[in-house]
Amino acid sequence: MGSEGNHRKTGPDANAPVAVELEGVGKRYDGTVAVQDVDLRIREGEFFTLVGPSGCGKTTTLRLIAGFEEPTEGRIRFGDRDVSGVPPEARNVGVVFQNYALFPHMTVGENVGYGLRFSEPPGGASREERVRELLELVDLPGTADRDPESLSGGQRQRVAMARALAPGPDLLLLDEPMSALDARLRERLRLQVRSIQRELGITTVYVTHDQEEALSVSDRVAVMRGGTPEQVAPPRTVYRRPASRFVAEFVGDNNVFEGVVAEGNGGVEAGVGADSTARTVPVDVGGETLRVAVGGEADAEDDVPRPGDSLTFCVRPQHLRVGRTENGVRAEAESAEFLGETTRVHLGWGGRELVVRTEDPLSGTVAVGFDPADAHVIGADPGE
């Protein structure tokens, strides 16, 4: 894909040097805290995504990295270089904005070439050669003489990306670049963005509020809340093992249960599925006793919840099994949403809502349960 394919990479090396480091970074505006206590280390060649709801500080964090804002406290380094006080144009970063920011009075080629106004094209190429190879890279060959207004939204966003890449930046920053596009186009474009990033091996920081987008393109994800990263981990870890209730409920559908470890009903038992080292504990949730897997061979005995401890755990909708009475509850089917491959069914149980994914709609009273190994403990309050 394009003439820069000889640099193709499949992902960051786990031992790659740190490209960007934020240490204790905070930003306040007239006493209002936008971000606080941000500690992040982004590796060279990594596709790193900041995701979270509106107002969580993800865009402010990106702007601090770009140099559009200066931190109120903390330090930002690019490798070993402290970039405090360094202006954006001297940081060697490429930025792609949500609104494209293309110049309507310039052709596509002139817009891409505008990214070279402060530097010569990398690799000794001429300006025209660089524009041509970048338009090929973003799958827009032969469009250099076209008017940007004649392109679709997705094409314009790719032109904006080509312009950001023109000087050969060390770091690519993308601020919600697809939020104005329709769902199908977003899906296609995010695959292209990921492909381009891998082909160039460029360190990339991506901002989005779309959890699916974050999970699908990233090497690692930072889930932001209240100006601070709540969890930083690979997408599968964030989805399967959320670190907090907020992450569990923000990233995809989830069923969160709060209960108290019960005194009896078998106590702590060993052996869950194929993992003979995992243990289960009975948890009283709304008058029902559910068994939850906890711990493992590496855990000290003190880490296993004891009777009377509060316990919060989650079970994804696809892991609730309809018709299972063991470790299950009886709930009322209230509504259903047909999603194509599956149906999302909302159930009422004990004054709360459960969500299950099935092939067909459900009606009336149904039994739903889960394997203890599919329950992930996200919080405990021992001793109360």
Q: What is the pLDDT of residues 290-306, one digit of tens each?
A: 999 886 544 445 567 88
Q: Encoding tokens for residue 69? A: 């804002």
- Domain co-membership, 73 together with 111: yes
- CATH number at 349 reads 2.40.50.140
The closest alpha carbon to 154, from 178, 126, 120, belongs to 178
Distance between CA atoms of 255 and 248, rounded to whole angstroms? Answer: 8
Residue 11: closest CA among 194, 237, 228: 194
| Structure token pair of residue 362 | 């459900």
**Are 265 and 221 contained in the same domain?**
no
The more confident residue out of 76 and 185 is: 76
Band of residue 253 on the pLDDT scale cut at 50, 70, 90: very high
How is residue 374 written in tokens?
């599919």
21 strand-pairing partners: 41, 77
Tens of pLDDT, residues 351-364: 999 999 998 889 99
How large a percentage of the chain has pLDDT more than 70? 89
Confidence of residue 135 (pLDDT cuts 50, 70, 90): very high
Regarding whether 17 and 152 lie in a shared domain, the answer is: yes
Secondary structure, 3-state, the chain: CCCCHHHCCCCCCCCCCEEEEEEEEEEEECCEEEEEEEEEEEECCCEEEEECCCCCCHHHHHHHHHCCCCCCEEEEEECCEECCCCCHHHCCEEEECCCCCCCCCCCHHHHHHHCCCCCCCHHHCCHHHHHHHHHHHCCCCCCCCCCHHHCCHHHHHHHHHHHHHCCCCCEEEEECCCCCCCHHHHHHHHHHHHHHHHHHCCEEEEEECCHHHHHHHCCEEEEEECCEEEEEECHHHHHHCCCCHHHHHHCCCCEEEEEEECCCCCCCEEEECCEEEEEEEEEEECCEEEEEEECCCCCCHHHCCCCCCEEEEEECHHHCEECCCCCEEEEEEEEEEECCCCEEEEEEECCEEEEEEECCCCCCEEEEECCHHHCEEEEEECCC
Domain boundary residue, one of 216, 242, 268: 242
Query: Do 260 and 236 lie in a common domain?
Result: no
Out of 242, 267, 295, pick the residue that ends a domain: 242
Tell me, yes or no, whether 108 and 179 share the same domain. Answer: yes
Asked whether residue 197 falls in the same domain as residue 274, the answer is no
Q: How confident is the model at residue 50 (pLDDT cuts 50, 70, 90)?
A: very high
pLDDT of 207: 96
Candidates 82, 178, 102, 184; CA nearest to 143 is 102
Q: What is the CATH number of the domain that holds 190?
A: 3.40.50.300
Any idea what the Cα angle at residue 91 is, between residues 85 and 95, rounded to 5°? 115
Residue with tokens 């790659």: 16
Q: Are residues 22 and 159 in the same domain?
A: yes
**Same domain for 96 and 226:** yes
Q: What's the rounded Cα separation, in Å, for the pair 63 and 275?
A: 45
Give the pLDDT band of residue 6 (cuts 50, 70, 90): very low
Residue 249 domain flag: no
Distance CA 122, CA 279 (A): 57
Q: How many domains does the chain have?
A: 2
Domain limits for position 365: 255-381
**Statement: the pTM of the whole predicted model exceeds 0.85:** yes
Span 267-280, pLDDT tens digits: 445 444 444 455 88
Which of 296, 322, 314 minimizes the C-alpha distance to 259?
314
Q: Give the residue from 242, 271, 305 where a domain finishes.
A: 242
Question: For residue 379, what pLDDT is reported?
Answer: 61
